[in-house]
Structure 1
Amino acid sequence: MKTLRLLALTTSYPLRPDSCAGLFVQSLYRHLSATCAIEVVCPADSNPTGPTSGDGAASDIQIHAVRYAPRAWRTLAQGSGGVVTGLQRAPWKAFLLPGLLLGLFWRCLLLASRADLIHANWSVCGALAGAVGRLRRKPVITTLRGSDVARSTRSWVDRMILDLAMRNSRIVICVSEAMAENLRAQYPQRSADIHACLNGADDAFFQIDRKISADAGLRVLAVGNLIRLKGFDVLVEAVARARHRDRMHVWVVGGGPEREPLLAQAASRGVSSCFTFVGIVPATDMPKCFSEADVFVLSSRSEGRPNVVVEALASGLPVISTDLEGVQGMVSNGDNGWLVAVDDADALAAALDQAIDNRAELHRRGERARTFAQNRIGTWADTARCYETLFLAALTADERHRSSCVE
C-alpha cells in the first residue's frame, strides 16, 4: 500500500523511450514509486504522437504533460540542455516562457488538492510549487541540482527565483554535500532545512564485469548533450594535441546543436578517425557503453553533480574530469581519476596520454572508482530512501505547524 501521494513538478522528464531529458529525475521517481503514488507535471514536447499519460516502466507514475504552445513550438523545455540552453540558442523563445510557467503552475494547482506533498526539481519549479503550496496548504520540498544555484551567483533574476524557492520550501535538497554547505552559508537562517541526497546509479552499472582490454589502444567514453557548456570542443582539441592520439578512440554519446561544429573541428584538426559520434542512446543501453570503455572523460565548463560521472565510477571506470566543485567530492586526482583545469586542452591531453602509458595504473584507478561508488554513493534505491526520510520529516513538520496554529 502506498504511504504517500506525491505531486512532482519538473521542467525535464523523458516522455518517450528515446528521450534524454531528465533521465535522473525519472530514475528517482521510479524508485520512489514503490512507496509513493506519484503524479508528474512537466512540459509537453513537439512529438506528433502526443504526450504519454504514464511512465511505462512504472505504472504507478502518472505523467501530466502541459501543452504550453502549438505543438511545433513546444521545443523550449525538453531539448538538449533544458530551458536555459534553449533560450541561449534561440532568444526569441522567451515569449513562450510565460505560457510554460503559467501552464505548469495551473496544472500543479489543480492537482495539488489530492497530494500529500509537492516535490519540485530546480529552483524555478520550487518557486512555482511554493506558491501552489501556500494556496493549497501543502508542504513543498525543492531539489536544487547545481546549475540553478550556480546561475544565482551571476544573475539577479536567478537569485530572486532561488530566494522564492528557498522561502517557500519546507525542506531543500541538494545533490551534493558541497552544494548544501554553500547554500547553508548563503541562507544561514535555513541551514537546518538544507540537506544533501546524492544521486545514485542503477544496479546495472555496479554489475559490469570490468576487464583489462588486450588492445594497446585506449577506448574513451564521453556522454552529454552536445552544447558548448559540455566542452566537447576542448576534448577534440585535447585529442589533437595528445602524443598517442593514434592509439585512442573516443565514443561521444549524446545529441545536440554542436554536433556539426564538432565534426568540422575534428576534421580540421585531423582527428576525425579518432571520434565516433554515436548520437542519443536509450538509457537501458548505457551500461553496455560504459562496459566497452577504458576511461571516461568529462570536459564540461560547468556542472552541478554530473550523473554520468556517478555512472562511470559505479562502472569501475577511471574518470578524467575538469576540476569542478560538483566533481571534486567524487573524483580524486591520482586516486580514481584525473582532474584538469577547465578549458585546458593541454592538461586533458596529458591525462589521456598517461592513461595509455600505464595500463596497470589505469586499472588500479578503475578499481578505486568502483570502491568509492559502492562506499560513498550507492544506488538509486539508496537515494530514494534518503528522499523518503525527508518527505516524512516534511509531513511531520507540517502537521506540527498546523497543530500549533490551531492551538
Structure 2
Amino acid sequence: MRVLLIANTLPPRDLSGAGEQVMQLAAGLRQAGCEVEVLGRGAGGARGPKVLFPLTVLPPLWRALKRFRPQVVQVHESDGGLAALLVVLLRRWLRPRPLLAALLQVSYREEMRSVRPLRYRGRVLGRPGWTERRFLLFKAPVQLALGALSARLADRVLACSAQTAREVERDYGVRGVGVLPNVTGGLPIAAAPPQAGDPPPGYLLFVGRLRIRKGVEVLLEALAELRSAAGGAPATPPARLVIAGSGEQQAALAARAAQLGLDDAVRFLGRCDAGRVRRLLAAARALVVPSIYEGMPLVILEAMAEGVPVVASAVSGIPEVVIDGDCGWLVPPEDPPALAAALRQVLADPEAARRRGERGRRRLAEHFTPAHAAARWLELVASPAGGEGGG
C-alpha cells in the first residue's frame, strides 16, 4: 500500500510532538510493508515560512499525487485543511482514487478554552500573556476552521486518544473518530553526551513549551509547598526542578520562581533538542506534566521508555497512558497541594518510584510502539470496516 503523509512540522528541523508522531507512524507502516512518503517543508516539499504551509504545500502535493499515486493520503492538524480540499477536488481524476485520512492531536476549540487564567481556590496562579491572547484572537479561529475542514472532508478521522476523539466529534461536528494512540521507539534518537553544567541527577523534570495550558505555574506553587513543610522546615530530600523548554510564559515563570524563593531550586534550560531531552530524562527522578489540556503528550511516552515515573494531571488523554498507582501518579489539574503530595512520595521513596517507572516501561512496550500504531492504523484506515469518518 502506498501512503502519503503530509505534515508541516517534522523532526529534526522542528521540535514538534505532532511531527514526530508522523515519523513514528511512517516507521511502523514501513515495517508493516507499506510504501510511505512524507511531504513536509524543504527539498521536494513546501517552500517558504511555516505559517504559509497550508498554501505552499499544494503544488508539491499535486506533483506527489501524480508521481507517487498514493492509495491513502493523510493530513495532520489544521495545516492539512487546504491539502485535504485539494485531494477531494482532484481525486475523481486520480488512479487509484486515494482515500483521505485526517489525524488530529487536539481540538482547537478545546485548546482555545485552555487559554485562560490558572486558579486554585479563587487565587490566580498565572495568566496568559499577550502572545497567547493574540493567538486566541487571530490564529486560533483560523486553525479551528482549517482543522474542522480537514475532519469534515476526510473519509477516516483519527485522534490520539479517546478523549480527544470525543472532543473532535463534539467540536468539529463529525462522527466515528477512531483512536490512534501516540507511540515512540521508531526513530533513532541517542542521548546527547554529558556537558559541563548539566544539573546533578535526581531532579524533577518538566519538558515542553512554556505556555499557560502547560500549568508550570501550578508546578512552581507545588514546589514551594514541597520545600517548606509545616513550620518552615525544608522538605527531605530537597526538591529540585529542571525546566527544559522555552515559550511565552518564560519570563513570568522566572519572576514567579524568584518571588517564591525558588532561585536555588529551579533551573531554566531553555529549548532543548531531542538528544538532550533523552539525557535529561535518564537522570531525572520523575517527569512532571501539570497541564490543564493536552492531546497525548509524547514526552510521557519518552519518559516511560527510559523507565522514568510520571506525575501528571488527570486530563485529556493522559489517563489513557499513565495508570495511577501503577506506572505513575495522576493528580487533579490546578491543584498545587495534590501535586506537592505526589511529588513528596516520589522523593521520599525512590525505590517505589523506580518500580513505577519500570512498570511504565513495560506498559509502553506492550501498547505504544510504532508496530502497535501501524497495526491500529491499518485496522482503522485500510480495512473496509474502518469506519466512515467525516460528517
TM interval, short-chain normalised: 0.7 to 0.9
* Counterpart AA for 1:112: L
Partner amino acid, structure 1, of 2:159 = C
CA–CA distance in 2 between the matches of 1:396 and 1:344?
40
Q: Residues 151 and 159 of structure 1 are in contact (CA less than 8 Å); yes or no, is this contact kept in structure 2?
A: no
1:355-400 CA-to-partner distances (Å, cap 9, x unmatched) read 222333323322332232233x2312332343345453379999xx
The residue that corresponds to 1:148 in the other structure is 108
Aligned partner of 1:143: which letter? L
Distance 1:39 1:359 in 2: 44
Unaligned runs of 5+ residues in structure 2 are 92-97, 115-139, 192-200, 229-234
Secondary structure, counterpart of 2:240 in structure 1: strand
For residues 173 and 187 of structure 2, the distance between their equivalents in structure 1, rounded to whole angstroms, comes to 39
1:123-142 equivalences in 2 (<5 Å):
124-137=78-91, 138-142=98-102
Q: Does 1:102 align with 2:102?
A: no
Match for 1:118: what amino acid?
V
1:222 aligned to which of 206, 209, 219: 206
Match in the other structure for 1:311: 302
Q: Which of 323, 333, 349 is the matching residue for 2:340?
A: 349
CA distance in 1, matches of 2:274, 2:152: 35
Task: Name which of 158, 173, 181 aligns with 1:173.
Answer: 158
> Identical aligned pairs, as a percentage?
27
Structure 1 counterpart of 2:11: 14
Partners of 2:237 and 2:347 within 8 A in 1? no
Task: Give the aligned partner of residue 65 of structure 1.
Answer: 46
SS in 2 for 1:140: strand
Structure-2 change in CA distance of 1:256 and 1:332 (3 Å):
same
* Corresponding residue of 2:267: 276
Name the structure 1 match of 2:132: none
- How much does 1:223 deviate? 0.8
CA distance in 1, matches of 2:334, 2:170: 29
Separation of aligned partners in 2, 1:153 and 1:301: 10
Mapped to 1, the partners of 2:238 and 2:187 lie a distance apart of: 29
CA distance in 2, matches of 1:188, 1:103: 28
SS for the counterpart of 2:291 is coil
Q: Distance in 2 between matches of 1:230 and 1:149?
A: 17
Identify the structure with the greater helix proportion. 1
The answer for the alignment partner of 1:267 in structure 2 is 258
Question: Which residues of 2 match residues 153-232 of structure 1 at below 5 A?
Answer: 160-180=145-165, 183=168, 190-191=175-176, 194-202=177-185, 218-232=202-216
Q: Is the CA contact 1:105–1:129 (under 8 Å) kept in the aligned structure 2?
A: yes
Q: CA deviation at 1:347?
A: 1.9
Per-residue deviation, 1:333: 2.6
TM-score by length of 1: 0.71
Measure, in 1, the Cα distance between the counterparts of 2:187 and 2:171: 38
Taking a change above 3 Å as real, the CA distance of residues 396 and 373 of structure 1, as seen in their structure-2 partners, is: closer
TM-score (norm 2): 0.73
Shift of 1:31: 4.1
**Is the 1:152–1:158 Cα contact (8 Å) retained in structure 2?**
no
Distance 1:152 1:261 in 2: 21
Q: Is the 8 A contact 2:245 2:271 kept in 1?
A: yes
Q: CA deviation at 1:295?
A: 1.0
- Cα pair 2:24 2:187 within 8 Å, conserved: no
Does the C-alpha gap of structure 1 residues 120 and 395 become closer, same or farther in structure 2, counting only changes over 3 Å? farther
Deviation at 1:224, TM superposition (A): 0.6
Q: State the one-letter code of the partner of 1:227.
A: R
Q: Which of 113, 118, 128 pairs up with 2:73?
A: 118
Compare relative contact order (CA 8 Å, sep 6+) and give the higher one, 1 or 2.
2
Change beyond 3 A, Cα 1:245–1:225: farther
Q: Deviations over 1:231-267 (max 9, x none)?
A: 2222222212214286122222223333333223222
The match for 2:368 among 378, 384, 402 is 378
Shift of 1:299: 1.3
Report if the CA contact (8 A) 1:153-1:159 is conserved.
no
Residue aligned with 2:81, SS = helix
